[in-house]
Structure 1
Amino acid sequence: MSSKRIPLSCENCRQRKIRCITSTYQAPCDTCLRRGYASSCRFRRQDSYGAQSSAPERPAMGNVSALEGLLRQNIAVTTALLGQRNETRLPSPDSSPASSLHYPVEHAVTPEPVRQSGHLVATPSNHVRFVPSNDLGDSSLIDAMHESTPDCPTGFPFFEQPGPSAVSDELLDLLPPLPQLEELKSAYFIVFSPLFHVLHDPTFHARYEDFRQNPKSVSLSFLALLFVILSLSVTALDDDNPLLMHLGRDPSPGANIRSLSAKYRAAAMRCLVADNFMFRHNLCTVQSLVLLIYAINHAQGPAWSLLGTTLHIAVAIGCAVEPSRLNVGRIEAEERRRCWAALQMLYTIQNTCLGNLMPFRIDSHVDLPADIEDEELSFEQLPNDDPSAPPTKMTYLLYKFRLYNLAFDICQLSSPADPAKMSALDARLAQEQQSHFVRFAARPFDELESYHQAHYYILANYINHLTLLLHRPSLPAASVSGPRAQSPEQCEHAATTILSNFEKLSSDQLFRSYRWYVDGLGSFYAFFSITTLLVLHGNGQLNAQSKSLIMNLVLRCVGLLVGNASRSAVCSKAAAILEPVIRHLDPVALGSSHTQNQIQTRDMSPVSEAAVLSAFPELGGLFFDVPCEQWLTPAGFPWIAS
């Protein structure tokens, strides 16, 4: 019987039915080298010859030779890859030729950084992972990953849910009845979606319709997303909303809101664990986690470890890669950019609040989301670059993205701060404030959507809060003619603006859905502003002509904090610190009642200004000694003065 004919072409070229160019019939052939398949090039005749020529008593020698050949091929490919990458890097001073150091600086050209690219590999269950690639990568390896992607690894030591990953009756039973579910969902898209615009609203609504038709047809990650939405939306309910009575069991509205929000956050986490999210994830997983961290932050809970996990899951599914280099459509590309921008924001502010435990910014080459409405994405419309164009639902997130980076830079200032750096940061804050005013004043303010009006006040409060943080260290050293002479005046203006906005958001029925902000960050910023004004009052640095008006504003806002103490932990802690000081200034104002009406028209008693800080030295300690980053959020603030 004749032996079987051995092919002349390599296996790669045979499978692709292309011409195999080689003169030695040794791997790799010229065709595979040119096309990037060098590491997988094999000749069957070479394998057959090696098998026949090997001595029976030394079977290992053929394997060793094959491994050596494979190692040489891989070294060649790796060297080529590194050479290609090094061409785009600037040489370091130590490795650069001496002659290159003599060129003028203005002649040095910084090359465009190489943007990562790759492929998204999907499993049958629609989970995704990102596989990086480049021009010299082995394309057959990518093909193999597409062909044999494991849907569920085994032996993962934690966060693994046994059994099939599907929506269960037990999880569905945690949802409220459909009418209440619809109302809570609507509240989210009225209040929170424009504020933290991570989702593409039409895409979510389409998936929600599928859920309504068949609740078990949706993925566990979508169900987790729905629970997170519920956890946020309950915080926007009024105290007298019947939903709180129907869904909650606690006697007070504030307790009901806290318990329901915690319940839905826990349900979201159960869905993610059931989906084995630690090793199986997709874009909906990241959206759920990003919004879950956002919800935990609003509840003043710890989210640092979950934030790190989410950041790496986002990297694993390719969110750190510019979506235009992936095989995704425009809507998914924007969803990916939104998730990545939101994660950068959360990471920056959380890391800053913790004193920069990881002292670096997340660096990637992902474009920021387009400042465009969701409906316009479907029509391939380009964003409007006009700085005076009306705001969109994305506008607030993009402004907050820049402000969080400003907060990072302010907290990085050394003490005492360099006047030049302070002036530069002052200019950046003023520029941001002006851009907000131009954008939101493009039309009459009352004609804007209520959420745009709320966003303007919230952004103004944050900018003024950063102004207080920037100038706070300068108050003791401020003199009439020194470089920091304007700091007391700037602090006075910033603090009174925050308190005026705090009153507006607290009392105007248009903003009743933002009570969660007033009770949380809004009250914390008001607490810092009141403390600032009391310190200025104690130092004799308040404007004499407006002192009476300012201190009456302080009294009214302290009354708001005291009145909200029963439903807000932030208000309760702030009131406990401020109320004794206010009683010392004006014993009658808060003597019998803590309502705003009784204190809004009273003048200050003629108490010595210096007595404020001498009688309450811990107030000055809180103001001057607490690090800047701990004044950013109430969760990181040391409420008990040392």
Structure 2
Amino acid sequence: MAESTTQRTAGSAPKVQLSCEMCRQRKVKCDKLSPCTNCQRLGAVCIPVERARLPRGRFRKSKAAHRVPESDSADATDELKGRMERLEGLICTLMQDNGAAANTIVPAMADAGILPSPCNTESRSDLPWPVGNDVRDGGGLVAQKPSAYLGNSFWEGLMHVQNRPLRNLTDQRHDGATFAPYDILVHGLTGRALLSPLCSTTEPWATPQLQQHLCHVFLSQVDPVFKILHQPSLRAFLIEGKPYLHYDAHRPAPEALRCAVYYTAACSITEDQWPPAIGASRASIIARYQRETEAALVRAEFVTSDDLTVLQAFVLSLIGARSQDRSRRAWTMLSMAVRVAQALSLHVPDPPFLITAFEQEMRRRLWGAIGLLDVQASLDRASEPMILRSWLELHAPLNVSDDDIPFGHEIVPAESDSFTDSTFTLMISKAQCAVRSLTEPGSQYMHIRQACVADFQQTASQLLRNCQPDAVPFHWYTLQVADYIAASMQLIALRPLQRTPDFTPPHVSGSNLLRLSVDILQKTETLHSDPRGHPWRWFEGIFVPWHALAVAIAELCGCEDAALIERYWDTVEGAFERFGGLVADEKEGMLWKPMERLMGRARAKRDTLRVVFTPESASAQSQSPFLPVMTPDQNQHQRGMGLAITPCSSTSGSIGVEPWANVPTVWDEVDFGDVGIDQLSWTNYQDFMEDMQR
């Protein structure tokens, strides 16, 4: 009798009803019906869970001695496989780095099939790299001198892996959520695994000569247009080898900043500027420093760190990533920078702790830079900004140079009337606040939108009153950017960036809206091609004027003048071809597909009108194809109606009180009392916006 009972199989044993899968995941009490009441109420599929009744009495010990739960067996097998894979990765790395030394130590293991042979190590390139004892040099991680023996770092890494106990999946399920390590988080956000610290300063990317060159590039090409650091302190740290601010040597925060500076500087160099003496391609150097920066941010724990320098490094890595990657990865990671900044109270004018004047200025600069990336992301993807306008207007940076506020300075310096290191940043800060005002839901009234543009022009006029564009190339670049922003804001005021059902634009007479949008495209080409703006051309490439291109194409679709279409066609088509690879998600994204369909309608319109277009009608308007036609009644407006800025044009040494001589204006041609007359072009633009948001 006892023997027959012992031989009963688990399948014939009575079943015990457990909580269903849904109730177990939601951690609620299950009534164990089939289906349970909770799943019925939620409309979910109830998956019952059963197990064999546990043995009792005298059969318990004999059953327990022979029974091996299937789940425990599977868990142990999976854990064992994972350990073996990590062990293989550790020794494969050793075999790759130490060559013959490793082959003399572990040949028997490879022959026995425990480890993969050297010829198969390439197939294991996806395994995680081990982190051993490393020495930092020049911002990179450098391994200690290779040895012919398996050193302490190998065995420490191996024991760290093997000493972890087997995980019980049942306990893990009920113990709550676990937090992913930072390396897994960065791998998920960037799509790249963290690199190995086993490198050498003899590699091209780690040479002191390249790092010195990248530091100078950052100070001349990145720092002027993206001002978040203190240049004298950075120069002392990277060029003179002094400690950065108050940090000790080899701290994670300054090391992360060092890598981010090198990475952003490499991203700002074009192929034409890349020095051939480096010995490596631009793409390989950028990829290497990107992974170096990601690894340094992981070591600095950038997600939970309260260090302002770590956040500065993270923001620098974001702008570098955006200049190279058109996907939404940088857009998604920007939200992390916003939340970390809020955790540091950067959005509060007076934080609830004591800070020096130097720290206050660095905080303001960093918060303004995050706001700039935020508005760039919203423009790039036609989405709403995350940061409120009031958070930026309350504490803008001061118009001071870096020399006016040394490290540790506790007295707030007086603002300067001249062109300082922060003038460009202040102008951009005012511009992004104006753009936020134009995109707010309550700004559907034209007088409010016009006031936003006028407010920006007034502020920029005060900042640029001592600008010397003929003497200083960066002053010339700043003036061109101010002109471009002022023209773009007028266009945004008349053609919103997002679909607004309650907004109906006023009538703009003639082809002035077309001329305004084409003028913006011409200014973009000037910034891109003029040699005076080459050092900062990378920054201009981040802000793609797709909005001006869309308005220009929509206006062409509604234009009945064949000669006018031919005059502006080359400019519009050239911008269309160039912007396709620069917009968000490139030509496969949600922005460019509607643009292609709108361009197809414009081409069809042009082909239709070309049937009646003759060379005589074109010669009647024999001006330059980049300049608008001026009738006698429009001569009084000739100053503002679309005069293009060419590379050979020049401005006086000081722009005086009238900085907008080359800025187009349409306000004189707007009939604010007549709404909805030019319905065709407005309808074309509305169709484009609706198509983009589908």
TM-score (norm 2): 0.51
1:437-586 alignment runs, 5 A limit: 437-447=461-471, 449-472=472-495, 484-486=506-508, 491-521=513-543, 524-525=544-545, 527-540=546-559, 551-556=566-571, 558-559=573-574, 562=577, 585=606
The Cα offsets for residues 310-368 of structure 1, whole Å up to 9 and x where unpaired, read as 23333444534546864433222211221223234434554675644869567489632
CA contact (8 A) 2:368 2:392 kept: no
Query: Which secondary structure state, in structure 1, belongs to the residue aligned with residue 419 of structure 2?
Result: coil
Query: Which secondary structure state, in structure 2, belongs to the residue aligned with residue 217 of structure 1?
Result: coil
1:390 equivalenced with 2:418 (yes/no)? yes
1:143-542 alignment runs, 5 A limit: 157-160=179-182, 170=199, 175-209=205-239, 211=241, 217-243=249-275, 246=278, 248-249=280-281, 256-257=282-283, 260-298=285-323, 299-301=325-327, 302-322=329-349, 326-347=353-374, 350=377, 353=381, 355-356=383-384, 363=391, 367-378=395-406, 382-384=413-415, 389-413=417-441, 418=444, 421-447=445-471, 449-472=472-495, 484-486=506-508, 491-521=513-543, 524-525=544-545, 527-540=546-559
The Cα offsets for residues 218-251 of structure 1, whole Å up to 9 and x where unpaired, read as 32222222222233223332433343784644xx
Q: How many residues align?
A: 424
CA contact (8 A) 1:320 1:365 kept: no
The Cα offsets for residues 140-193 of structure 1, whole Å up to 9 and x where unpaired, read as xxxxxxxxxxxxxxx98333579xxxx966597794422222222212221221
Distance, in Å, in 1 between the alignment partners of 2:235 and 2:506 is 53
CA contact (8 A) 2:347 2:367 kept: yes
CA positional deviation for 1:198 = 0.6
The Cα offsets for residues 506-554 of structure 1, whole Å up to 9 and x where unpaired, read as 3211122233245442xx31x443442343233238xx7xx95785354
Match of 1:95 in 2: none
Match of 1:594 in 2: none
CA contact (8 A) 1:225 1:288 kept: yes
Distance, in Å, in 1 between the alignment partners of 2:260 and 2:243 is 21
Percent sequence identity is 17
Which runs of no fewer than 5 residues in structure 1 stay unpaired?
Answer: 1-154, 250-255, 477-481, 590-599, 605-617, 629-636
CA contact (8 A) 2:264 2:320 kept: yes
Instruction: Rate the CA distance shift 1:326–1:212 in 2: closer, same or farther, 3 A.
Output: closer
Amino acid in the other structure paired with 1:453: W
Instruction: Rate the CA distance shift 1:228–1:413 in 2: closer, same or farther, 3 A.
Output: same
CA positional deviation for 1:197 = 0.6
Amino acid in the other structure paired with 1:223: E
Distance, in Å, in 2 between the alignment partners of 1:561 and 1:350 is 20
Amino acid in the other structure paired with 2:216: S
CA contact (8 A) 1:372 1:384 kept: yes
CA contact (8 A) 2:322 2:542 kept: no
CA contact (8 A) 1:191 1:451 kept: no
Amino acid in the other structure paired with 2:334: L
Query: Which secondary structure state, in structure 2, belongs to the residue aligned with residue 442 of structure 1?
Result: coil
CA contact (8 A) 1:562 1:571 kept: no
Match of 2:142 in 1: none
Query: Which secondary structure state, in structure 1, belongs to the residue aligned with residue 506 of structure 2?
Result: coil
Instruction: Rate the CA distance shift 1:391–1:489 in 2: closer, same or farther, 3 A.
Output: farther
CA positional deviation for 1:285 = 0.4
Instruction: Rate the CA distance shift 1:159–1:551 in 2: closer, same or farther, 3 A.
Output: farther
Amino acid in the other structure paired with 1:314: A
Query: Which secondary structure state, in structure 2, belongs to the residue aligned with residue 303 of structure 1?
Result: helix
Amino acid in the other structure paired with 2:319: Y
CA contact (8 A) 1:495 1:529 kept: yes
Distance, in Å, in 1 between the alignment partners of 2:426 and 2:316 is 16
Which runs of no fewer than 5 residues in structure 2 stay unpaired?
Answer: 1-176, 185-195, 611-622, 628-679
The Cα offsets for residues 367-420 of structure 1, whole Å up to 9 and x where unpaired, read as 3221111011138573436xxx33322222222223223222322347xx74xx
CA positional deviation for 1:627 = 4.2
- Alpha-carbon RMSD across the aligned residues, in angstroms, is 4.8
Distance, in Å, in 2 between the alignment partners of 1:473 and 1:365 is 22
CA contact (8 A) 2:494 2:505 kept: no
Distance, in Å, in 2 between the alignment partners of 1:285 and 1:489 is 50
200-209 or 401-410, which moves further after superposition? 401-410
Match of 1:623 in 2: 685
Instruction: Rate the CA distance shift 1:440–1:578 in 2: closer, same or farther, 3 A.
Output: farther
Distance, in Å, in 2 between the alignment partners of 1:438 and 1:183 is 35
Query: Which secondary structure state, in structure 1, belongs to the residue aligned with residue 346 of structure 2?
Result: coil
CA contact (8 A) 2:517 2:552 kept: yes
CA positional deviation for 1:555 = 0.5
Query: Which secondary structure state, in structure 2, belongs to the residue aligned with residue 203 of structure 1?
Result: helix
CA contact (8 A) 1:184 1:234 kept: yes
Match of 1:131 in 2: none
CA contact (8 A) 2:227 2:425 kept: yes
Amino acid in the other structure paired with 1:382: P
CA positional deviation for 1:466 = 3.2
CA positional deviation for 1:581 = 6.7
Query: Which secondary structure state, in structure 2, belongs to the residue aligned with residue 446 of structure 1?
Result: coil
CA positional deviation for 1:450 = 1.9
376-385 or 287-296, which moves further after superposition? 376-385
Amino acid in the other structure paired with 1:450: P
CA contact (8 A) 1:391 1:440 kept: yes
Amino acid in the other structure paired with 1:179: Q
CA contact (8 A) 1:161 1:273 kept: yes
Distance, in Å, in 1 between the alignment partners of 2:274 and 2:386 is 45
Distance, in Å, in 1 between the alignment partners of 2:579 and 2:332 is 31
Amino acid in the other structure paired with 2:252: L
Distance, in Å, in 1 between the alignment partners of 2:508 and 2:385 is 33
CA positional deviation for 1:625 = 3.2
CA contact (8 A) 1:371 1:395 kept: yes
Instruction: Rate the CA distance shift 1:321–1:412 in 2: closer, same or farther, 3 A.
Output: closer
Instruction: Rate the CA distance shift 1:271–1:495 in 2: closer, same or farther, 3 A.
Output: same
CA positional deviation for 1:621 = 8.0
Distance, in Å, in 2 between the alignment partners of 1:516 and 1:486 is 34
Query: Which secondary structure state, in structure 2, belongs to the residue aligned with residue 485 of structure 1?
Result: strand
Instruction: Rate the CA distance shift 1:192–1:563 in 2: closer, same or farther, 3 A.
Output: same
Match of 1:58 in 2: none
Query: Which secondary structure state, in structure 2, belongs to the residue aligned with residue 197 of structure 1?
Result: coil
